């Protein structure tokens, strides 16, 4: 199995960077990533100092997938996400829109949480189930050079909990080779990622990356054993919600034989929503496969 180590802090999806790994479609690889806090909180007393490291969400890559061309689609099966050092970290962060009600006198709140026996020990009395996910993963756009802060049609900083072990993420290809980057692993994250900081961890992730030739999609999709999921991003979040619903309807129409207006009706009654960082506008719409199988 090929392995890609964490090498240096990168904060852009950069099509001008030389690929660090070349793979064939269908290969399974292991990728090391640094945490979203750029490794600044590792032990008691550490603090997130943006004066020294102003950026967040360093990614590892790019990964070049042979035969991938614009208009194709990557199918990325997430096989495993593991902590590299048996711990994760978080801090209070800036409450931003909450300041109207909570004020601006915010403690740093930085602390390191051990990961043991399938739980994150957030405090001596509170343990949180270990449910790892990738917050930031994406292909490289054909124009511009987005940072690892926003999400978009390429993926990016989606912070969607369903980008997790056992699920397959579908991403559009915009440039030759796809040029995939990933990072920002979380040991767990609540809906909305309120403080913009999950339980951040340096990770080792196993991925099987396949290629679907000639399959063009408008943005990220996810498939779990039980659901299909569309992802959109942008603000206001109502706009991202509308786009994610529309992309789900078009997916049902194109691939599953649904009439779009019957799908529109059905989603009104059975769809669910998953939120990424509430201020960033990342939003996923989900529908159980039990409904998808019966076009009407």
**CB neighbour list of residue 252: distance below 8 Å, 6 or more residues apart:** 258, 260, 263, 287, 292, 295
Measured over the CA atoms of residue 165, residue 131, residue 190 and residue 225, the dihedral's sign is positive
DSSP E strand boundaries for 43-195 = 59-65, 73-83, 87-90, 111-116, 119-121, 127-129, 133-138, 151-152, 155-156, 168-172, 180-186
% of the chain surpassing 90 pLDDT: 95
Residue 110 lies in a domain: no
The mean of the pLDDT values for the chain is: 96
Mean pLDDT along residues 81-106: 94
Tokens of 280: 């960033």
Confidence of residue 253 (pLDDT cuts 50, 70, 90): very high
- Number of folded domains in the chain? 2
Residue 112 has a pLDDT of 98
| pLDDT over 80 at 274, yes or no | yes
Residue 233 sits in a domain whose CATH number is 3.10.28.20
Q: Please report whether residue 45 resides in a domain.
A: yes
- Same domain for 170 and 231, yes or no, is no
**Per-residue confidence band for 293, with pLDDT thresholds at 50, 70 and 90:** confident
Rama region for 44: left / alpha / beta (φ>0; ψ in -120 to 50; rest): beta
Asked which of 157, 182, 212 is the last residue of a domain, the reply is 212
CATH number, domain of 14, equals: 2.60.120.580
pLDDT mean over 279-288? 93
Position 294 confidence tier, pLDDT thresholds 50, 70, 90 = confident
* pLDDT above 90 (res 94): no
**Do 55 and 153 touch, CB atoms closer than 8 A?**
no
Residue 106 lies in a domain: no
Q: Domain for residue 91, yes or no?
A: no
Q: How open is the CA angle 57-280-136, to the nearest 5 degrees?
A: 30
Instruction: Map residue 200 onto helix, strand or coil.
Output: strand
Q: Which residue has the tokens 């056992």?
A: 166
177, 212, 247 - which closes a domain = 212
Domain holding 253, by residue range, is 226-292
Rounded percentage of the chain residues whose pLDDT exceeds 70:
100
pTM of the model: 0.97
Residues 80 and 224: their CA atoms lie apart, in Å, by 14
pLDDT at residue number 281: 81
**162 and 77 within one domain:** yes
Asked if the structure places residue 6 within a domain, the reply is yes
Contacts of 105 (CB under 8 A, 6+ apart): none
Domain contains 40: yes
Please check whether residue 136 is in contact with residue 59, taking contact to mean a CB–CB distance below 8 angstroms: yes
Which residues have C-beta within 8 Å of that of residue 290, sequence separation ≥ 6? none
pLDDT in tens, 199-225: 999 999 999 999 999 999 999 999 999
pLDDT in tens, 132-175: 999 999 999 999 999 999 999 999 999 999 999 999 999 999 99
**Which residue is associated with the tokens 């390429």?**
154
Count of CB atoms within 10 A of residue 87's CB? 21
| Pair (144, 287) in one structural domain | no
């Amino acid at each position: 199995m090929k392995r890609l180590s964490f090498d240096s802090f990168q904060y852009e999806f950069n099509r001008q960077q030389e690929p660090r790994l070349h793979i064939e479609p269908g290969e399974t690889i292991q990728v090391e990533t640094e945490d979203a806090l750029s490794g600044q909180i590792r032990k008691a007393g550490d603090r997130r100092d943006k004066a020294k490291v102003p950026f967040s969400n360093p990614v590892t890559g790019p990964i070049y997938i042979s035969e991938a061309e614009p208009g194709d689609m990557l199918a990325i099966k997430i096989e495993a996400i593991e902590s590299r050092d048996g711990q994760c970290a978080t801090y209070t962060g800036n409450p931003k829109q909450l300041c109207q009600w909570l004020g601006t006198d915010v403690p740093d709140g930085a602390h390191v949480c051990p990961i043991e026996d399938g739980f994150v020990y957030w405090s001596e009395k509170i343990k949180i189930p270990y449910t790892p996910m990738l917050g930031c993963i994406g292909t490289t756009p054909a124009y511009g050079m987005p940072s690892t802060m926003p999400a978009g049609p390429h993926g990016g900083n989606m912070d969607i909990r369903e980008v997790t072990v056992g699920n397959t993420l579908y991403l559009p290809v915009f440039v030759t080779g796809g040029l995939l980057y990933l990072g920002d692993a979380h040991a767990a994250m609540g809906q909305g990622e309120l403080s913009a900081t999950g339980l951040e961890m340096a990770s080792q992730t196993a991925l099987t990356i396949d290629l679907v030739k000639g399959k063009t999609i408008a943005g990220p999709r996810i498939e779990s054993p039980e659901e299909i999921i569309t992802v959109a991003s942008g603000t206001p979040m109502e706009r991202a919600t509308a786009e994610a619903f529309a992309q789900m309807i078009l997916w049902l129409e194109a691939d599953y034989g649904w009439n779009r207006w019957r799908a529109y009706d059905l989603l009104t009654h059975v769809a669910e929503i998953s939120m990424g960082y509430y201020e960033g506008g990342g939003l996923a719409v989900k529908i159980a496969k039990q409904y998808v199988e019966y076009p009407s």
